Amino acid sequence: MSISLGEIAARYGCELQGDPEAQVSHVATLSAAGCDSITFLANKLYRQQLETTAAAAVILSAEHAEACPTAAIVAPNPYAVYARVATELHPPLALVSGIDAQASVGEGCTLAPSCQVAAGAVIEDGATLGERVSIGPNSVVGRDAQIGDDTQLMANVTVYHGVRIGRRCLLHSGAVIGADGFGIAQDEAGWTKVPQVGGVDIADDVEIGANTTIDRGAIDDTVICAGVKLDNQIQIAHNVVIGAHTAIAALAGVSGSTTVGAGCLIGGACIIAGHLSICDQVMLAAGSGVSSSIDKPGAYGGFPAMTDEISRWRRNVVRYSQLDEMARRLRKVEKLAEKMADQEKLNNS
């Protein structure tokens, strides 16, 4: 499969510097690209590699076009154009519809004929799979769960009973959707389990990373809105709501009953406490710990100092690295002040 640069430029409304007939057949990095490949420059860290790239063409922004030693596809958002070109050049494998002989499908299930159910997959009673749904090897779809059109579960995914997943979602291996939330009530004897009778409601175009867990609600549902992107090993507790198009990086955790707004960017390993409300368009630096609600869009960071505006937090981070020196300086100025106070007393006596 190959595309001409002219086609790419026309299709994505980009300016082309170079031969419109030149063909590219696969994507590559700036440094590894050969004469049949197309690459991109989106992160300035890699600016230096532009000068020596052997790619057929580079997708980049106007500011770098002049420095490009080969054909340039100039776009305001080169990474988004690259994403689309890469999808054309490297399309996902076509579905092979049908149910593998070593899969297990329960009673009362509704499977569109276009579905693909791989070996070892288990579809429990009453589950519904829409058109072109793909269930990977050894994945499990629980009783009465519903999976929307064109959604794909890779291998070893677990979807619990009653969970609803929208269209065009992608769930990676080891993801567990709908396990019980951590609801326990303390009593004399220790703990009593609080039944988790809510569900999980995942909208369209959601991607869920490997080994990420999303718990079912205690009473109402846990809700993941449209276009949310979750990286690997994220924990979403019961009754959390994640707003549309919010992206969360790996190892982060959102505690029970917290609402995260739309269009947020949550850095890796962030921890958000329970029963909070984070408004739309909040950016959290990696490793942040949030223990109170945020009601103003913006960039925040810090742990355990929470919801500091990010510039103030960054200054505090620098000060933290100087803390021992500050303590020594404080001791010195204390001594000086004491000495002067003694002197003063002496002078005034």
- Near its own copies by CB under 8 A: residue from 54, 299, 305, 310: 305
- Near its own copies by CB under 8 A: residue from 250, 283, 299, 310: 250
- Residues 131 and 146: their CA atoms lie apart, in Å, by 12
List CB contacts of 109: < 8 A, sequence separation 6 or more: 123, 124, 125, 126, 127, 128, 129
Helix (H, G, I), strand (E, B) or coil at 268: coil
- Residues 153 and 234: their CA atoms lie apart, in Å, by 17
The verdict on 112 binding its own copies (CB under 8 A) reads: no
Q: Which is nearer to its own copies, 23 or 232 (CB)?
A: 232
Q: Which stretch binds its own copies (CB under 8 A): 14-22, 48-56, 66-74, 86-94?
A: 86-94
DSSP class per residue in 154-193: -TT-EE-TT-EE-SS-EE-TT-EEEEPP--EEEETTEEEE
The verdict on 120 binding its own copies (CB under 8 A) reads: yes
- Near its own copies by CB under 8 A: residue from 147, 242, 244, 260: 244
Q: Which stretch binds its own copies (CB under 8 A): 1-9, 22-30, 47-55, 109-117?
A: 22-30
- Residues 142 and 47: their CA atoms lie apart, in Å, by 49
CA distances from residue 143 to 20, 68, 127, 212, 273 in whole angstroms, order as listed: 54, 56, 6, 21, 31
Q: Which is nearer to its own copies, 66 or 91 (CB)?
A: 91
Q: How far is the CB of 17 from its own copies (least distance, A)?
A: 22
Q: How far is the CB of 288 from its own copies (least distance, A)?
A: 9
Q: Which of 26, 161, 172, 238 is catalytic?
A: 238
Give the x-and-dash track for 210-229 against its own copies (CB under 8 A): xx-x-x---xx-----xx-x
Q: Which stretch binds its own copies (CB under 8 A): 1-9, 23-31, 61-69, 108-116?
A: 23-31
CB burial of 237-268 (b: ≥16 within 10 Å; e: otherwise) equals: bbbbbbbbbbbbbbbbbbbbbbbbbbbbbbbb
**DSSP-derived secondary structure letter, 16:** E
The verdict on 304 binding its own copies (CB under 8 A) reads: yes
Give the x-and-dash track for 51-70 against its own copies (CB under 8 A): --------------------
Helix (H, G, I), strand (E, B) or coil at 254: strand
Phi, psi of 25 (to 5 degrees): -120, -15
The verdict on 249 binding its own copies (CB under 8 A) reads: yes
Q: Which is nearer to its own copies, 19 or 104 (CB)?
A: 104
Q: How many residues bind its own copies (CB under 8 A)?
A: 124
With left for phi above 0 and alpha for psi between -120 and 50, is residue 211 left, alpha or beta?
Answer: left
The verdict on 110 binding its own copies (CB under 8 A) reads: no
The verdict on 321 binding its own copies (CB under 8 A) reads: yes
The verdict on 319 binding its own copies (CB under 8 A) reads: yes
- Near its own copies by CB under 8 A: residue from 14, 28, 99, 163: 28
Active site residue 238: yes
Helix (H, G, I), strand (E, B) or coil at 120: coil
Q: Which is nearer to its own copies, 14 or 160 (CB)?
A: 160
Q: Please give the residues from 157 up to 216 whose contact with its own copies meets the rule CB under 8 A.
A: 158, 160, 170, 172-174, 176, 179-180, 182-187, 189-195, 197, 205, 207, 209-211, 213, 215
- Residues 336 and 326: their CA atoms lie apart, in Å, by 15
Among positive and negative, which fits the CA dihedral 77, 78, 80, 84? positive
Specify whether the CB–CB gap between 238 and 215 falls below 8 A.
yes
Q: How far is the CB of 217 from its own copies (least distance, A)?
A: 9
Q: Which residues are catalytic?
A: 238
